[in-house]
Amino acid sequence: MPDIPFLKHAMAVDDNLVKIRGLRFGYGRGRLVYDGVDIDIPRGCVTAIMGPSGTGKTTLLRLIGGQWRPTAGTVEFDGVDVHRQGRRDLYALRRRMGMLFQNGALLTDLSVFDNVAFPLREHTTLPESMIRDLVLLKLDAVGLRGARDLAADALSGGMARRVALARAIALDPEMVMYDEPFTGQDPISMGVLMRLIRTLNDALGLTSIIVSHDVAEVLSISDQVYILSGGKVVAQGTPEAVRGSTEAHARQFLDGRHDGPLAFQYPAPLLAQDLGLGAVS
């Protein structure tokens, strides 16, 4: 084969933007959140990370972003080990990631325009004229260019989430992470956010990670899904494959069963023993 530089580069590019291998992480003694987890996030796709509350879905985003360090295992972003980077390189890596926080996390003393402009002013030396154009383009993409002068604390929950999404894509990241984007949203706002996530992913060539427990909504816009439970991946694949999973933890989550592998009662002594009533015959 002839030595063609661009062809060699194309062959070397991994199809997965994020690669997680053997991930272990816990809180203090006896609270193991991840126990040897492998996850691949393909480029250009919408990947859903799902599971019951307390399974570490948001924790996974913090590990990918390098905010927290794993006990063992590796997290690679575009072939780079996130947790082996010095502070300057880690910050540079993070600029390639956008984040939509669970509550939007807008700066309430700033206007809509200034919230979206904030990362551009913080991380670039662009002139204000160019920042203005970029902010208006991002706001237009989420349908809120006309709301640019509103105060952040005057927005509805759905509008605030959309402004937060415009801010998340302000620096043109390669990947956007969504932490429970549909929580507290009415059906109309939820529908708008679902369409935006899918449309922006495809139009901008993004890679998207959605952390959520909203089963129907997330499965409808995802390319692949991971369900986590008990520190393990219990189901993975296309939405269709995951819907058909027979694994007990996955089925309890998908069907919303109140009892199952994740018991309704937290482990405790017998009630009679706790009440001091002695043994019950």
**Are 49 and 228 within 8 A, CB to CB?**
yes
What domains lie within the chain, and their CATH numbers?
1-43+51-86+214-281 (3.40.50.300)
- Tokens 């109309």, residue located: 188
Q: Using DSSP, state whether 255 is helix, strand or coil.
A: helix
- Tokens 């926080």, residue located: 101
> What is the pTM (predicted TM-score) of this model?
0.85
**Are 168 and 102 within 8 A, CB to CB?**
no
pLDDT digit string (tens) for 146-168? 999 999 888 888 889 899 999 99
Q: What stretches in the chain show pLDDT beneath 70?
A: 1-13, 29-30, 278-281
Q: Using DSSP, state whether 97 is helix, strand or coil.
A: strand
pLDDT at 13: 57
Residues 6+ apart with CB under 8 A from 266: none
Could you count the other beta carbons within 10 Å of the beta carbon of residue 251?
16
Kindly write down the DSSP assignment for every residue of 26-78, as one continuous string.
ESSTT-EEEEEEEEEEETT-EEEEE-STTS-HHHHHHHHTTSS--SEEEEEET
Could you give the CA distance from residue 257 to residue 250 in angstroms, rounded to a whole number? 10
**DSSP conformation class of 259:** S
- Checking DSSP bridges between strand 72-77 and strand 16-26, what pairing results, if any? antiparallel
**Are 97 and 248 within 8 A, CB to CB?**
no
pLDDT digit string (tens) for 191-229? 888 988 999 999 989 999 999 888 888 999 999 999 998
